[in-house]
Structure 1
Amino acid sequence: MTSPTPPAEPTYADRTFRSPAGIVGGVLLLLLVCWIGGDAVFRGHGWVPWLALAGLLTAVPLVVAFTLRPVVYANEQRIRIRNPFRTITMPWTEVADLRAGYSSELFTEGGAKFQLWAVPVSLRQRKKAARQQSRQSLDDPYGRTSVHADVRDSQSRLATADQTMADLRELVERAKAGASSKASAASEAKAPAPSEASVSVRWAYELIAPAVVGAVLLVVLLAIG
């Protein structure tokens, strides 16, 4: 008689964190680059169209890499950080800390550090949130809260980057607590503890290659022109 197959753990859709301002700026910059480059390609003379093509081949991948590409995907099991030129994937158990100083950074248990390009830190927004919190403390110095107050209001006063990092830290704590309980259950059942995938890094050669080729062509054309 075969033992029943244990039910698979539910999978949850990834939460997505990215910068709306970066996306808008990237789209506008792409339009500007394509407009100027396209005008030079179709109306230029001599070496100008070729220089424009090489410039477009260099500039477009770089604009996409630094504005449209950065994003952070997170679910209950792991985090995937898509930075301009590489994608880092790791389980939450490999995450040691998340900090947002002048930039958002993730530290692994092995001591590695990765920057979260999709979560830019706005010092102006942080100062504004601090002023709002200061005003609230002056209005209510003894910490008394009205029965009609919304408990989510304190979270809304955080800067966007700080709120995002707080959400990610909550996922880390939840995942580590779950992994600890699984390890305890496995030790009680004298079964091997479930293994976690390690940190993986994949380079974005689809963006690196055309940018490098375009830069080389641009240097060659400028040298012989």
Structure 2
Amino acid sequence: MTSPTPPAEPVYADRTFRSPAGIVGGVLLLLLIFWIGGDAAIRGHGRVPWLALAGMLTSVPLVVAFTLRPVVSAGDRRIRIRNPFRTITMPWTEVADLRAGYSSELFTEGGAKYQLWAVPVSLRQRKKAARQQSRRSLDDPYDRTSAQADVRDTRARTASADQTLADLRELAERARTAGAGAAAGATESSVSVRWAYEVIAPAVVGAVLLAVLFATG
């Protein structure tokens, strides 16, 4: 008689963190570039269409890289950081700390540091959250609110970058407690870094074309 197969561990979808303001800004910039560059390429004379096309080839990948591309994907076993020009993947066991000063940063056990472009720090939001916390402490000095309401209120009074890093720290701690990071480390390399050549190559080609056109003009 065969022994029953143990139930498989539940697999949860990765949580993704992006900057809504960056996405909106990137879309608006792309629309502006295509509007101005497309008009110059179609209606321009002489070298103007070539300059417009070279400028678009340079600027579009850079705008996409810095606004639409950044994202942080966090699962039970690993974290994946997609920055403008690199994608870093590592198991949670390699993560030593997550901090948000003037920018969001991840520190590895080996001492490396990676910025989280998808989690921008807003000093204005942080000051606003501090004022709300100070106002709440004056309104309720004895902390008489319920625990559930207090959790919701705390999240509302926390800057978005600080709250995102708190969520990531919680995922990291949960992975260490469950031992999921050790399982990932047995099947994956410690830290994987891949350069985004699909972004770098067209931007470099466009910059070279612009330099050639200006030099021969």
Alpha-carbon displacement from aligned partner over 1:9-35 (angstroms, at most 9, x marks no partner):
221111110000000000000000111
Q: How many residues are aligned here?
A: 216
1:96-115 equivalence runs, <5 A: 96-115=96-115
Match of 1:218 among 198, 203, 210: 210
Secondary structure of 2:23's counterpart equals helix
Indicate the residue corresponding to 1:21 in structure 2.
Answer: 21
Q: Are 1:199 and 2:191 counterparts?
A: yes
Give distance in 2, aligned partners of 1:172 and 1:196. 18
1:139: how far off? Answer: 1.1
1:145: how far off? Answer: 2.4
Given that 1:91 and 1:196 are in contact with CA atoms closer than 8 Å, whether structure 2 keeps it comes out as: no
> AA paired with 1:65?
A
TM-score by length of 2: 0.93
Secondary structure of 1:151's counterpart equals helix
**Quick check: 141-150 or 105-114, which moved more?**
141-150
1:178: how far off? Answer: 1.4
Give distance in 1, aligned partners of 2:181 and 2:212. 61
Give distance in 2, aligned partners of 1:147 and 1:75. 27
Give distance in 2, aligned partners of 1:78 and 1:148. 30
- Segments of structure 1 that go 5 or more residues without pairing to the other structure are 184-192
1:176-195 equivalence runs, <5 A: 176-179=176-179, 195=186
1:152: how far off? Answer: 1.6
> Structure 1 residues 46 and 170 mapped into 2: Cα distance closer, same or farther (>3 Å)?
same
Give distance in 1, aligned partners of 2:179 and 2:2. 28
Given that 2:88 and 2:191 are in contact with CA atoms closer than 8 Å, whether structure 1 keeps it comes out as: yes
1:85-164 equivalence runs, <5 A: 85-145=85-145, 149-164=149-164
TM-score by length of 1: 0.89
Give distance in 2, aligned partners of 1:96 and 1:28. 37
Alpha-carbon displacement from aligned partner over 1:77-100 (angstroms, at most 9, x marks no partner):
111111001111111111000000
- Segments of structure 2 that go 5 or more residues without pairing to the other structure are none
Given that 1:70 and 1:117 are in contact with CA atoms closer than 8 Å, whether structure 2 keeps it comes out as: yes
1:111: how far off? Answer: 0.5
Alpha-carbon displacement from aligned partner over 1:44-94 (angstroms, at most 9, x marks no partner):
111111011100000000000000000011111111111001111111111
Give distance in 1, aligned partners of 2:164 and 2:103. 12
